[in-house]
Chain A
Amino acid sequence: MPGVRVLIGTRKGAFVATSDAGRRSWQVEGPHFGGWEIYHLKGSPVNPDRIWASQSTGWFGQLVQRSDDGGRTWDAVGKDFAYASVPGTHQWYDGTPHPWEFARVWHFEPSHVDADTVFAGVEDAALFKTTDGGQTWQELAGLREHGSGPHWQPGAGGMCLHTIVLDPADPQRILVAISAAGVFRSEDGGATWHASNEGLQSGEIPDPEANVGHCVHNLAMHPARPQTVYMQKHWDVMRSDDGGASWREVSGNLPSDFGFPIDVHAHDPETVFVVPIESDSLHYPPEGKLRVYRSRTGGDDWEALTKGLPQENCFVNVLRDAMAVDSLDECGVYFGTTGGQVYCSPDGGDSWAPIVEHLPAVLSVEVQTLS
């Protein structure tokens, strides 16, 4: 029977919510790993019962958990993320050199073709890969060493590689995003990399059009049209139609073009969702109204989606990995807030209802469409 499984990472544990295809009635299990920060969970497209979880605290460091039964039980796997070479330095907040140090895994991106292969984006920014089901992790050092690394600098949350986009049609094509360095792309499976930030403009750096230094918050690609990539930057919503080689702004009539997540409708590469946030100083929605904005034109022209969402006194944030879409016939859209609500729209954004409320602050939301 078709249904969905929503994987929720929070500041104090992981939760798994399931529903049938109606997406109106939910069962919520958890917390798994209570008290630990779960930055991200994601399931394998090859084997949906295999799910990866990044478990960490400032006290006891990083663990990687793997489930092979859809999130019911978990086993700790390899957690040694050793940089492949002398890491060198990146820029610290004040522009001085600072040594590269591993802090945590921000994001897992399982392979589209092999359930044992997963990419991991970490802080301090680097890309790792396992091909043995998580027992060992190897850095794809060509990214960190391609030349611009000494100019990368941390965002407020740390210098993290938080977004990994794999082209489902071409496993050699990978895009990653780093705060605050920008987008980097590889055409050879991650061996070699180059900065991919042409067209970005950022007023927070000395040269607004610099090759690197941009605080890119999130990327989204529709699997049927991998040359089109959408970006929520620190400020500005952007679009690329050449696989990330160049970008143009599509913020259009948004009430604020600051925000964190961005996602694409499962069945329409021109339908895009963002959650505008007032500013980088305020980090809550404009006017205290929680509104998802949808564009059906690939950007520029946006409409507010409010039905079922709080329209007064709402001052939560929606973090970069806390939005997802399912691929049921009528595309479902999901997001979680720092106030602990997780919302689902089973009708492409037209109406919303909470799956669960009062969780710890939500760090990530992913959804699996189950057949």
Chain B
Amino acid sequence: MTRVVLPYHLRQLAKVDGEVTVDGSTVREVLDALESEHPVLRGTIRDSTGKRRAFVRWFACQEDLSHNDVDQPLPEAVLDGREPLLVVGAMAGG
């Protein structure tokens, strides 16, 4: 199982506290599983075409994975549960 940390607003939408865990060894698999378990999140991380939203990034193990191939395996530390995959909304004020 892969640990995923969602930003505040998406935790509120999905009605979850803290981390969520889903099956998946790539970003695509993790997001597919996340959207399958929490349909309200469809369209919030990726738009209706499957493209990552402009103000959303995904990080893990101090690396920005946002521009990697979404079918690339996640880092070993994420796959074995030591580290979470972070879904991050861009910093902004206002």
Binding site for B on A (CB under 8 A): 34-36, 57-63, 76, 79-80, 82
Contacts and interface: CB of A to CB of B under 8 A. Distances in A.
Contact of B48 (A35, A58, A76, A82): A82
Contacts of B47: 61
A34 B44 CA distance: 16
Contact of A58 (B7, B13, B40, B55): B55
Contacts of A58: 55
B interface SS class = loop
A79 B43 contact: yes
Contact of B10 (A60, A80, A82): A60
A34 B13 CA distance: 11
Contacts of A36: 9
Contact of A59 (B12, B40, B89): B89
Nearest to B56: A59
Contact of B53 (A34, A35, A60, A76): A60
B45 interface: yes
Interface of B: 7-10, 12-13, 40, 43-45, 47-48, 53, 55-56, 89-90, 92
A interface SS class = loop
Nearest to A33: B12
A59 B43 contact: no
Contacts, number: 36
Nearest to B89: A59
A303 B40 CA distance: 49
A57 B94 CA distance: 12
A80 B43 contact: yes
A294 B43 CA distance: 44
B42 to A, nearest CB: 8
A35 B9 contact: yes
Contact of B9 (A57, A76, A79, A82): A57
A60 B48 contact: no
B40 A60 contact: no
11 contacts: A35-B9, A36-B9, A59-B7, A59-B9, A59-B53, A59-B55, A60-B13, A60-B56, A63-B40, A80-B43, A82-B48
A34 B56 CA distance: 19
The 7 lowest CB-CB distance pairs between A and B, nearest first, are A60-B44, A59-B55, A59-B89, A76-B40, A61-B43, A61-B44, A58-B55
A61 B47 CA distance: 8
A59 B12 CA distance: 14
A128 to B, nearest CB: 14
Of A57, A59, A76, A79, chain B has the most CB atoms within 10 Å of the CB of A59
Nearest to B10: A60
Nearest to A101: B47
A76 B13 contact: yes
Given A76-B40, A80-B43, A80-B48, A59 B90 contact: yes
A35 B13 CA distance: 12
B93 to A, nearest CB: 13
A157 to B, nearest CB: 16
Contact of B45 (A60, A63, A80, A82): A60
B40 A61 contact: no
A61 B53 contact: yes
Nearest to A77: B40
A58 B53 CA distance: 9
Contacts of B44: 60-61, 63
A35 B7 CA distance: 12
A36 B9 CA distance: 8
Nearest to A12: B94
A246 to B, nearest CB: 40
A62 B90 CA distance: 17
A166 B53 CA distance: 35
A63 B10 CA distance: 12
